[in-house]
Amino acid sequence: MSDFDSERLSNLFHKYLKPGKEEIETTAVSDLLKEYDRKKFASITLKEVQNNIDIDKYGYVGFASVENFARNYFMNEPSTSVPEIISLFYNNYSSDKGKRFDNRTDRLIEQEDMSKLLIQLYPDLTQDDAEELSQQLFSSNTSMGSVKKLAEKLTKF
């Protein structure tokens, strides 16, 4: 689904309404969004919803707030692919040479492994294209880089 579908979101919103209410509980928003588009909203958390949506003093949210939040999230798409790229890296290239950073959520990846990872992410890429893209992602004088930073750069291409 490439376009935001306000009518479909509205139908789902009404599904989550309790009888006699015009708003839904904040805790139901992430479930509603995941049902709306499982891929785009796969990693959305309750905390993210609470921090970025208008909630009344009783913990309820109106449709307009849900729609604004969903539309912004959908259109700006806060790189759901970054966690996917990182997870793919951990599953396939996380070895002893992938040194951990202090925050333990990121590792260093070698440029050679980045090329392999790119081919896995984008099967249409040739080996040469993957190596060239990998070189563009890395600083000119480094052979290792942060997986997280490289993933963020990659999503901007």
Residue in 22, 10, 1, 25 with CA at minimum distance from that of residue 77: 1
Domain count along the chain: 2
| Other beta carbons less than 10 A from residue 24's beta carbon | 24
Residue 1 within any structural domain of the chain: no
Residue 102 within any structural domain of the chain: yes
DSSP state, 115? Answer: H
The reported pTM is: 0.47
Residue-range definition of the domain harbouring residue 105:
81-155
CB 109 within 8 A of CB 69: no
Residues 87 and 69 reside in one and the same domain: no
CATH number of 48's domain: 1.10.238
Q: Please identify which residue in the block is written with the tokens 């009518």.
A: 7
E strand spans, 52-121: 60-61, 108-110
One pLDDT digit (tens) per residue for the chain, 157 residues: 457 788 999 999 999 998 888 899 988 999 999 899 888 888 888 888 887 787 777 888 888 888 888 887 776 654 455 556 666 665 555 544 444 444 445 666 777 777 887 877 777 778 898 888 888 877 666 667 777 677 777 666 5
